[in-house]
């Protein structure tokens, strides 16, 4: 019994000793990696600078995509597509048309404006213009039944065009003198913003990919130079039986430090730029506030995401470099 207990104690002690040794090895790798970071100032600055630009481009791409998407939603909510029905259409027929339009998947809502309501609204808007009011009074058939339709995608009106052309219930009530208007006052603005969203997304992906490749290349060369400068030390470590992980570890830590520092700088620059240009963008009708609010509220998560991205880029670069040049 005593022997068994003693054996268990020795196993527990040996396991504890192994854990302690692994922990000490990990601490040493981190220390050596941080020391390597400061060995060659110019290479360190170059690697960190390119990594910072890379992460800043990623930050800017995501922010721009969100800002433009929010702007499209804001403008979409202010614009409606219009279908004009006969002035003498009865409410029952108008209601039937509304029901047909509301069945479309692309339609969010339908608002009905009667000729009387349209006339009253026009009179109120032009009460300071007597000549216009007199002309409106004289024109008995100037106003139509109008269906103001909000759609999911302002750039896709194919379903509306199809129902206007092929649905008998709708076509029977359409006013022949005024075709449906799928181009509100701000239609062109929305189309431009929609195109800008896609363009910004594509440019952001391309730019981010280019800078990620450049960052990896520079970090790869930085680690390669570090390996070359420490080749005698590395050879000595191999001869005395150092583990592969211990030899490779400091270089991985060094690359992760590049990513960590670059993430801090890039995130700070990104938030500063966003706050700086927000007033100008808002004044130009760009809906930047939701993106600003979300990023401010979840600033810690944004920073963490940037650090993770930077660390991943650094780890991949360092692993490629160590695998090729250390020949472990």
* Residue 34 reports pLDDT greater than 70: no
SS3 category, 285: coil
> Has residue 25 been placed in a domain?
no
Per-residue confidence (pLDDT) for residue 307, from 0 to 100: 92
Question: C-alpha angle with apex 102: 96 to 106, nearest 5 degrees?
Answer: 150
Same domain, 180 and 197: no
Same domain, 212 and 312: yes
> Has residue 295 been placed in a domain?
yes
Residues 240-257: pLDDT tens digits?
A: 766 777 777 777 888 888
* Residue 59 reports pLDDT greater than 70: yes
> Has residue 22 been placed in a domain?
no
The boundaries of the domain holding residue 252 are 35-73+190-325
Same domain, 293 and 248: yes
Instruction: Report the number of distinct structural domains present in the chain.
Output: 2
Per-residue confidence (pLDDT) for residue 158, from 0 to 100: 79
> Has residue 249 been placed in a domain?
yes
Same domain, 206 and 305: yes
Same domain, 316 and 223: yes
Last-in-domain residue among 124, 150, 184: 184
**Percent of the chain topping pLDDT 70:** 69
> Has residue 12 been placed in a domain?
no
Same domain, 317 and 195: yes
Per-residue confidence (pLDDT) for residue 302, from 0 to 100: 92
Same domain, 224 and 301: yes
The closest alpha carbon to 72, from 281, 282, 286, belongs to 286
Higher pLDDT, 38 or 71: 71
Q: What pTM value is reported for the model?
A: 0.67
Residues 64-76: pLDDT tens digits?
A: 888 877 877 777 6
Q: What is the DSSP letter of 152?
A: S
CA–CA separation, 208 and 57 (whole Å): 6
């Amino acid at each position: 019994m005593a022997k068994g207990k003693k054996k268990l104690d020795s196993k527990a002690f040996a396991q504890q000793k192994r854990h302690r040794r692994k922990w000490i090895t990990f601490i040493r790798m981190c220390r050596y990696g941080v020391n390597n970071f400061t060995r060659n100032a110019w290479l360190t600055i170059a690697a960190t600078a390119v990594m910072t630009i890379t992460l800043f481009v990623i930050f800017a791409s995501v922010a721009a995509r969100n800002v433009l998407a929010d702007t499209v939603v804001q403008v979409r909510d202010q614009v409606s597509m219009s279908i004009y029905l006969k002035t003498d259409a009865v409410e029952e027929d108008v209601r039937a048309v509304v029901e047909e339009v509301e069945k479309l998947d692309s339609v969010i809502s339908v608002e009905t404006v009667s000729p009387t309501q349209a006339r009253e609204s026009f009179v109120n808007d032009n009460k300071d213009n007597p000549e216009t009011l007199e002309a409106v009074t004289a024109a008995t058939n100037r106003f139509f039944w109008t269906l103001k339709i909000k759609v999911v995608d302002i750039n896709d009106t194919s379903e509306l065009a199809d129902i206007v052309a092929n649905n008998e219930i709708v076509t029977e009530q359409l006013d022949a003198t005024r075709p449906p208007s799928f181009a509100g006052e701000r239609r062109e603005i929305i189309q431009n913003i929609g195109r800008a969203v896609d363009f910004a997304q594509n440019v952001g992906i391309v730019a981010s990919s280019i800078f990620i490749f450049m960052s990896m290349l520079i970090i790869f060369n930085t680690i390669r130079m570090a390996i070359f400068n420490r080749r005698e030390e590395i050879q000595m470590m191999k001869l005395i039986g150092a583990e592969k992980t211990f030899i490779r570890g400091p270089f991985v830590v060094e690359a992760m430090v590049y990513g960590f520092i670059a993430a801090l700088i890039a995130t700070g620059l990104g938030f500063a730029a966003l706050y700086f240009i927000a007033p100008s963008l808002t004044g130009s009708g760009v809906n930047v506030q939701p993106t600003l609010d979300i990023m401010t509220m979840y600033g810690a998560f944004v920073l963490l995401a940037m650090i993770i991205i930077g660390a991943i880029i650094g780890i991949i670069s360092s692993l490629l470099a160590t695998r090729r040049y250390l020949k472990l």
